[in-house]
Amino acid sequence: MNIRRRTALAAAAALTLAAAWPGAAFAQKKIVLGFSQIGAESEWRTANTESVKAAAKDAGIELKFADAQQKQENQIKAIRSFIAQKVDVIAFSPVVESGFETVLREAKAAKIPVILTDRAVNTKDDSLYVTFMGSDFLEEGRKAGHWLVDKMKDQKGEVNIVELQGTVGSAPAIDRKKGFEEVIKADPRFKVIRSQTGDFTRAKGKEVMEAFLKAEGKKINVLYAHNDDMAIGAIQAIEEAGLKPGKDIIIVSIDAVKGAFEAMIAGKLNVTVECSPLLGPQLMQAVKDLMAGKSLPKRIVTEESIFPMEVAAKEFPKRKY
Ligand code: AHR
């Protein structure tokens, strides 16, 4: 039975009950949402989890929450368990882009709609999910690139960049790299001299930056980090190497979490591109709309901004994550 028919039947049953017992208060079945979260790798992710949990509570939706601890196999297990429990809707933020087709087919066969939040999967069959809501990672990479090109417009000579990539195979790591390269390749002065994953964590960001500094030392002009946590870890490594982050090495990162604003206010981070984790309310609205038989747009893009260090102190009090 498809979702519209299930919803229509539930509504018809409710009307029959109301007619049989006029005035009687009868409890409507709570919508059950199974949500598979990637983990707790960053300040961004923690804010995203809080947003989803709080919004479910506010919307009166029963949330079955599973933390995959950054492992795809755990996400697949969680989705299978949601299918076995016959939840009404499944939502998840895929840790990597590929390898979810089989389990998505299983959800489809069980007639449970799937919503992708934050990250996409790279399937050719887009009937395997109802909608994908979240940021445009490609555009975030481009914004980072444009800011850097403008910042370096009067600089003479080469601009040597080191890049801290996000989780290998994840949509943000792939797209943020691509978008950034697309913009800087127009100017031959810009060279990415080292690029390695820091897995979106502070600890790895620091570790990989230490290795970059050891290999390239003062040759490094710019650090492009795919998220703020890695940039914050790298800042520590730069200071420990006796250099001044934000001055000796220009730092461009993505997310706009509070930690990044603190680093910008301290003059250690030059710019952060916004990527909003506050997807909870939008997700719950989509779940409710689905259960009411409404159709959803295939792509819901989050609107975002960019914050250079010059505006950090003014913007900081307004930040929600
Ligand atoms: O998918 C969004 C990315 O995942 C955020 O930029 C990063 O901080 C998080 O871990």
200 pocket-lining for ligand 1 (C-beta < 6 Å):
yes
The residue among 165, 180, 297 whose CA lies nearest residue 231 is: 165
Is it the case that residue 63 has pLDDT exceeding 60? yes
113 shares its domain with 126: yes
For 221-235, write each residue's pLDDT tens digit. 999 999 999 999 999
Residue to mutate, 36, 41, 44, 164, ligand 1, most ligand atoms under 8 Å from C-beta? 44
What pLDDT score was predicted for residue 26? 54
Ligand 1 center to residue 144 CA distance, Å?
15
Calculate the average pLDDT of the chain: 93
CATH code assigned at 228: 3.40.50.2300
Query: Which amino acid is located at 44 in the chain?
Result: W
* Mean pLDDT in residue range 271-285: 98
Q: Is there a domain that residue 16 lies in?
A: no
Name the percent of the chain lying above pLDDT 90: 91
What pLDDT score was predicted for residue 307? 98
Q: Is there a domain that residue 60 lies in?
A: yes
Q: Is there a domain that residue 102 lies in?
A: yes
172 pocket-lining for ligand 1 (C-beta < 6 Å):
yes
124 shares its domain with 163: no
What pLDDT score was predicted for residue 24? 44
What pLDDT score was predicted for residue 2? 53
Q: Is there a domain that residue 10 lies in?
A: no
User: How would residue 27 be classed by pLDDT, with cut points 50, 70 and 90?
Assistant: low
13 or 251, greater pLDDT? 251
Q: Judge residue 109's burial from the number of C-beta atoms within 10 Å of its C-beta, 0-12 exposed, 13-18 middle, 19 or more buried.
A: exposed
Q: Is there a domain that residue 12 lies in?
A: no
Task: Give the CB-side neighbour count of residue 185, counting CA atoms within 13 A.
Answer: 8
Q: Which atom of ligand 1 is nearest to the CA of 228?
A: 8
* Mean pLDDT in residue range 206-231: 98
79 shares its domain with 117: yes
129 shares its domain with 172: no
User: How would residue 118 be classed by pLDDT, with cut points 50, 70 and 90?
Assistant: very high
Beta-strand runs (E) in 4-135: 32-37, 62-67, 89-92, 114-117, 131-134
103 pocket-lining for ligand 1 (C-beta < 6 Å):
no
Q: How far is CA 182 from CA 143, 187, 188, 195, in A?
A: 11, 10, 12, 16
Is it the case that residue 289 has pLDDT exceeding 70? yes
Q: Is there a domain that residue 308 lies in?
A: no
Ligand 1 center to residue 44 CA distance, Å?
6
Is it the case that residue 20 has pLDDT exceeding 80? no
What pLDDT score was predicted for residue 28? 75
Domain span at residue 109? 25-134+277-302
41 pocket-lining for ligand 1 (C-beta < 6 Å):
yes
User: How would residue 149 be classed by pLDDT, with cut points 50, 70 and 90?
Assistant: very high
176 pocket-lining for ligand 1 (C-beta < 6 Å):
no
Q: How many domains is the chain partitioned into structurally?
A: 2
235 shares its domain with 297: no
80 shares its domain with 143: no
- Token pair 């403008």: residue: 150
Q: Which atom of ligand 1 is nearest to the CA of 118?
A: 1
Q: Is there a domain that residue 178 lies in?
A: yes
128 shares its domain with 46: yes
Three-class DSSP category at 25: coil
For 82-111, write each residue's pLDDT tens digit. 999 999 999 999 999 999 999 999 999 999
* Mean pLDDT in residue range 241-246: 98
Q: Is there a domain that residue 40 lies in?
A: yes
142 pocket-lining for ligand 1 (C-beta < 6 Å):
no
55 shares its domain with 118: yes
187 shares its domain with 246: yes
233 pocket-lining for ligand 1 (C-beta < 6 Å):
no
101 shares its domain with 199: no
Supply the pTM of this predicted model.
0.92
Four-CA torsion 146, 148, 151, 154, nearest 10 degrees: -100
Ligand 1 center to residue 28 CA distance, Å?
36
141 shares its domain with 269: yes
249 shares its domain with 287: no
